[in-house]
């Protein structure tokens, strides 16, 4: 079965605006900072978050790195624009 052209268009990786990118990085950082860093786990995750470049849909990695409970926290903190970006890039 061949992919339909409209499906292929949905596979584009859309680079977010700097505002959306920065908001997503900030939200992810806030969530990680709520955890104990006794074994360096938080530092490791924050290094990943802070190393992400705003290219294509790279920033979605900061959302996908969370389990469903933390994704719910992420969504609760996100603006309408960020929610729309996430919805369009899942």
Q: What are the pLDDT digits (tens) for 47-85?
A: 999 999 999 999 999 999 999 999 999 999 999 999 999
Domain span at residue 22? 18-89
| DSSP element (H, E) containing 24 | helix 18-32
Distance CA 77, CA 27 (A): 7
5 located within any domain? no
23 located within any domain? yes
pTM reported for the whole predicted model: 0.84
Q: How many domains does the chain have?
A: 1
63 located within any domain? yes
Distance CA 56, CA 42 (A): 25
User: Per the structure block, which two tokens stand in for 60?
Assistant: 């979605």
2 located within any domain? no
């Amino acid at each position: 079965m061949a992919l339909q052209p409209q499906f292929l268009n949905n596979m584009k990786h859309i680079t977010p605006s700097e505002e959306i990118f920065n908001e997503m990085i900030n939200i992810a950082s806030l969530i990680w900072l709520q955890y104990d860093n006794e074994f360096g786990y938080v530092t490791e995750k924050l290094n990943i978050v802070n190393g992400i470049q705003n290219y294509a849909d790279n920033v979605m990695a900061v959302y996908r790195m969370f389990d469903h409970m933390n994704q719910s926290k992420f969504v609760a903190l996100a603006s309408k624009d960020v929610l729309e970006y996430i919805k369009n890039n899942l």
